[in-house]
Amino acid sequence: MSVADTTAVRVRPVRKEDFDQWRALYRGYAEFYRVEQTEEAARLVWSWLHDPAHEVDGLVAEGADGRLVGLAHFRPFARPLAASVGGWLDDLFVDPASRGTGAADLLLAALRRIGAERGWSVVRWITADDNHRARSKYDQVATRTMWITYDMATEA
């Protein structure tokens, strides 16, 4: 695939037969962010993607050869102050060997369309401050906000 050839990549919903390739991509995503992810945890996420009652949904980017080159996991979230529902992009990852093929653009465009179809007021995500390559892409398709995120542990 050439760097500019986005016609060789298509985006579609994740399918049950995608598990092995999805798992390799998701492992790469976890490794990129230095997150230890057990097989049990990955299988739980996989079950969410195929449970119509669960809020998490998934897309994959597939090369012309049928190989999966990227993934996106997303879900709706309530926005009480705006009295609306938005979409939250939890995970976006493109295999390093396929970066520059347009796969990220296509995944983000598909998510934009899904958001419009579902009546979402916004699609939102976070990324690491030092993820310069991704931030460069995100600056092209979205507006960086002023919000800083925090994580608070729950009581044990």
Residue 112 in contact with residue 59, Cβ under 8 Å? Answer: no
Cβ–Cβ < 8 Å for 37, 45:
no
CA distance 11 to 68: 10
Which pLDDT does position 4 carry in this prediction?
Answer: 45
Structure confidence at residue 151 (pLDDT): 87
Which pLDDT belongs to residue 39? 97
Given this model, what pLDDT does residue 1 score? 42
Residue 40 burial (C-beta neighbours within 10 Å; 0-12, 13-18, 19+): exposed
Do 45 and 79 contact (CB within 8 A), yes or no?
no
- The CATH number of the structural domain formed by 10-141 is 3.40.630.30
Stated pTM of the model: 0.91
pLDDT in tens, the chain (156 residues): 444 455 689 999 999 999 999 999 999 999 999 999 999 999 999 999 999 999 999 999 999 999 999 999 999 999 999 999 999 999 999 999 999 999 999 999 999 999 999 999 999 999 999 999 999 999 999 999 999 899 899 997
